[in-house]
Amino acid sequence: MTFADHFETFHALPVFTLPEMREPGEEKLPDADAVAWRLDCYEAGELPFDELWRSFTDRVPSTDVRALVIGPWWDDEYSDLRPALELMVADAERFPALRALFLADVTGEECEISWLQLTDVTPVLEAFPQLEEFGVRGGDSQGLGEEPLSLRPVRHEALRVLRFESGGLPGQVVRAVGACELPALEHLELWLGVSQYGGDTTVADLAPLLAGGRFPALRHLGLQDSELQDEIAAAVASAPVVAQLESLSLSMGALTDTGAEALLEGQPLTHLKRLDLHHHFLSEAVADRVHAAFDSAGTEVDLSEHQTPHRWRDEEWRYVAVSE
């Protein structure tokens, strides 16, 4: 998978990229609450982020902004997200209506996902207690930044959607998510990635998420893009949390017949409305068994994007959808 395009919608709003400053009287911008505002240093005339942020808060009524999407925050060389995040957090009181924030709507041509230099994102959840949707793209930045992506356990009453998109999600982040108190959380999506790019999550790290009870409102769980997809499938097959879910995604990873058979032989999953297994390495026979088991129950199953293992010196290599 590649990130070829920027978001077109976010939080059910069309995305609008803030343009360069125009002469007074020439500028016509959407109503502040009608779009998800996207900030991109390149699209704004290669402004440094601090200048772009000031331009945004000067030109758009911040009290009405409902959603923010942060694109490239660097105007020259790749740089750490931390200074940009500190600006946003410092101005949090100016955004009482903000309900959704996505960090790093960046395409592969702009920066590979593993090169994105992130930081501790906990201050976002602490500064915006009314936030309902929070998404982050990137991982440990391969040691390029001052600090990797990280998270500290928090309690947040309003958060409904939490997504981490990464080619190598640090296990520390997964453990922190599992230790958070998020009573309103309905949708959790974790792209775990591979060890080569910092994805050191183990199945044991997922135990608090799989035990159930931590997030009572959870209805969708995505544990995706993992080289350990078979082991994760086996753990999910007996996980208490599954009973409360309406949809489950084990997609984008190195899922083989072993993982699929664990799902078929484990606890009943036919109460699910949707089971997403796209990007997989299943044999045709096992894929047919999966379809037969779920189609008759009315569960939508996605088994698209069948992959063929790469071969190297008589060994097979199964790859995830997103790594570098």
pLDDT digits (tens, 9 = 90+) for 78-114: 888 999 999 999 999 999 999 999 999 999 889 889 8
pTM (2 d.p.): 0.95
Phi, psi of 215 (to 5 degrees): -125, 90
The residue that leads in pLDDT, 43 or 267, is 267
Q: Are 253 and 275 in contact (CB under 8 A)?
A: no
Characterize the bridge pairing of strands 300-302 and 13-17. Answer: unpaired
Token pair recorded at residue 130: 């009314």
Residue linked to tokens 């569960």:
299
Whether residue 70 is predicted with pLDDT greater than 90 in this model: the reply is: yes
* Rounded distance between C-alpha atoms, residue 114 and residue 151, angstroms: 17
* Rounded distance between C-alpha atoms, residue 149 and residue 160, angstroms: 21
Say which DSSP state 229 is in.
Answer: H
**Buried residues in 157-179 as b, exposed as e (16+ CB within 10 A):** ebbbbbbbbbbbbbbbbbbbbbe
* Residue 211 amino acid letter: A
* Rounded distance between C-alpha atoms, residue 221 and residue 237, angstroms: 13
Q: Are 232 and 210 in contact (CB under 8 A)?
A: no
Structure confidence by residue, pLDDT tens digits, 227-254:
999 999 999 999 999 999 999 999 999 9
* Rounded distance between C-alpha atoms, residue 296 and residue 48, angstroms: 56
Q: Are 323 and 310 in contact (CB under 8 A)?
A: no
Structure confidence by residue, pLDDT tens digits, 180-215:
999 999 999 999 999 999 999 999 999 999 999 889
Token pair recorded at residue 221: 């769980």
Whether residue 314 is predicted with pLDDT greater than 90 in this model: the reply is: no
Phi, psi of 125 (to 5 degrees): -70, -30
Token pair recorded at residue 112: 């590979």
- At a CB cut-off of 8 Å and minimum separation 6, what does 169 contact? 139, 149, 190, 191, 192, 193, 198, 199, 201
* Rounded distance between C-alpha atoms, residue 225 and residue 132, angstroms: 24
Return the H-helix or E-strand segment holding 189: strand 187-193
Q: What percent of the chain has pLDDT over 70?
A: 96
Q: For residue 322, how far is the Cα from the chain centroid?
A: 12
- At a CB cut-off of 8 Å and minimum separation 6, what does 22 contact? none
